[in-house]
Structure 1
Amino acid sequence: MRGFRWPPPPDGGPRTYGPGPTAPRTGRPALPEPETELVATPHGVRLEQLITGVGDPVTVFAHGFASGIAVTRPLGSGVAGRKVFFQFRGHGRSDAPAGPWSYGELARDLRAVADLSGASRAVGVSLGAGALCQVLAESPERFERAVFFLPAVLDRSRATAARQRLTDLIATVEAGDLSAVADVVSTELPAAVRNTPAGWAYLRQRIDQLMRDGLAPALAGLLDDVPVRDPAALAPVTARSLVIGCVGDELHPVEVAERLAAALPGAELHVYDKPGVLWTNRADLRERVAGFLNG
């Protein structure tokens, strides 16, 4: 039986148990992380950001829980204009002010980066999609176009299993347990990718970033919070919206994407038939996001 294990072999190739190829196989290394900057916000929290591209329009990208710039960058491929990727408080090099935190604080981070850069469009991933919901509930006309990729919650808190998985990730990162962190992070990968060169490269990059920057304990408080108390708060939103979900994702139930699309006026909904969209449907996803934002 072949299985996943950590640490990876030193030559970079996957190792499997049982019959199969045994020669060293070198995986393509992950791209080096680009140089980012810390920007001061009006609410006193410095946030890490990366700006790519030039000209207008400007699009801000908000990442998911325990994720960051590196994971959201593929969504900007093909998007015209300037792209602003940033790290929420408690992630990467961004400040981690004293908690507790709610989606209100995340919305403030997102709004500040958007205002400072003059962004008229926004892409929110998972946690970032929730923050984007709150921004639009408070300011329905703030963005012209909005993309919600794999929204995790709307007006109901996360399921118990999802909360436990993310709580475990915070705890293992804080404990510095590389093997345990790898076990949790590996669940982000489709089973077919976990023991491949591409899978090892992704794991190395994610684990290196998590162990270097850590995760603020105050993030745990977000697991019981919701972006909006009533989806009707999104009825006045004027932005053209695209909601993208997928079937079979424990952290991002497809029902959340469907309910969010129903709450946003005239929203377009697309549902993929299996999880791991960034691995199994990357080209289609990039084209779909770029086509919508450039439209």
Structure 2
Amino acid sequence: MRLNYVETGPADAPAVLLGASLGADHSMWEPQVDALSQRFRVIAFDHRGHGGSDVPEGPYTFDDLGGDVLGLLDTLEVEQASYVGISLGGALGLWLAQNAPDRFHRIVAICPPSNPAATPDVWTDRAAQVRAEGTKAIVDATLGRWFLPEFTDTEPIRQMLLNCPAEGYAACCEALSTLNLLPGLGSITAPVLLITTDSDASVPAETVVHLATEIPGAHLEVIENAAHLVTYSHPEVVNPLLLAHLA
């Protein structure tokens, strides 16, 4: 399984992986890359089925998605990295913290769904819709959840969603439909920063606040006047939080 990735920053600096949202590719991290690459070897990757990565037929599982990331670390000969992820990528960060604790130094999980298996039909129905109609069927609704109305610079994200392979998007929906991270939260040993927003219609803030009570030592930040894709809409708030936690 080949994951597409882009590296920036010094090759001998500590490594930081960036895992994107469902339907997005590594370019969604453009607002973070310059800031992070001053201090870190930044590795922004595309999930399987997304961007320039391979698109095997689904369904996928989080064992698949997590195994891909561990394989990427092995390919790059990185023994230990920190990890920053949002939405699907944030959930994957918590999965990696539970299942490969020796490989990850610090974790940032931004607006992560922690128990999407509680509503599996949401994800399997969306998978069926995208397989039948393509990602164009979900773009407007997705942008409506990801950004507040006053944020209008959404065209790059719209195009990113339209470019996402339908099978990859659908198969990652199926991975989410079976995921429940809650039972393993207490086993996480890496320092975790949780970021949520006060207007997230995709992953309600209260679900992320709950994670902070379950993950030992977790630090929680709630960003005001922001929706789900806060890394893109509010980098001036998010970037200092990342740099402080990853230092």
TM-score, L = length of structure 1: 0.70
Let me know the Cα RMSD of the aligned residues: 2.7
| Residues 265/209 of structure 1: CA separation in 2 closer, same or farther (3 Å cut) | same
Q: What secondary structure sits across from 1:148 in the alignment?
A: strand
Q: Which residue of 1 aligns with 2:226?
A: 275
Give, in whole Å, the separation in 1 of the partners of 2:140 and 2:100: 40
In structure 2, the CA distance between the partners of 1:141 and 1:76, relative to structure 1 (3 Å rule), is: same
Structure 1 position 171 matched with structure 2 position 129? yes
Question: SS at 2:103's partner residue?
Answer: coil
Amino acid at match of 2:41: R
Partner of 2:30: 73
- 1:191 alignment counterpart: 149
- Once structures 1 and 2 are overlaid, which stretch shifts more, 276-285 or 78-87? 276-285
Aligned to 1:157: 117
Q: Is the 8 A contact 2:29 2:231 kept in 1?
A: no
Q: Residue type of the partner of 1:46?
A: R
User: 1:218-271 CA distances to partner (integer Å, 9 max, x unpaired)?
Assistant: 2331232214351xx233433221110112312112123122222222111101
SS in 2 for 1:141: helix
Structure 2 residue 92 is matched with structure 1 residue 138: no
Matched, 1:225 2:178: yes
How far apart, CA to CA, are the structure 2 residues paired with 1:236 and 1:223? Answer: 21
Q: Does 1:120 align with 2:81?
A: yes
Q: Indicate the larger mover: 169-178 or 46-55.
A: 169-178
Question: What amino acid does structure 1 have at the position aligned with 2:208?
Answer: A
Q: Per the alignment, in what secondary structure is the counterpart of residue 235 of structure 1?
A: helix
Q: 1:142 deviation in Å?
A: 2.4
1:104–1:131 CA contact under 8 A, matched in 2 = no
The answer to whether 1:256 aligns with 2:207 is yes
Structure 2 residue ranges without an equivalent (≥5): none
Amino acid at match of 1:131: L
Distance in 2 separating the partners of 1:123 and 1:229: 19
1: CA distance, partners of 2:33 / 2:118:
27
AA aligned opposite 1:157: A
Instruction: State the one-letter code of the partner of 2:190.
Output: A
Name which one, 1 or 2, has greater alpha-carbon Rg.
Answer: 1
Alignment partner of 1:87 out of 46, 49, 61 = 46
Gaps of 5+ in 1: 1-44
Change (3 A) 1:221 1:238: same
- 1:200 alignment counterpart: 155
Residues 194, 212 of structure 2: 8 Å contact kept: yes
Q: What percentage of aligned pairs have identical amino acids?
A: 23
Q: Does 1:47 align with 2:7?
A: no
SS in 1 for 2:200: coil
| Count of residue correspondences | 238
Q: Matched residues in 2 for 1:227 and 1:290: separation?
A: 29
Q: Distance in 2 between matches of 1:201 and 1:142?
A: 33
Calculate the TM-score normalised by the size of structure 2.
0.83
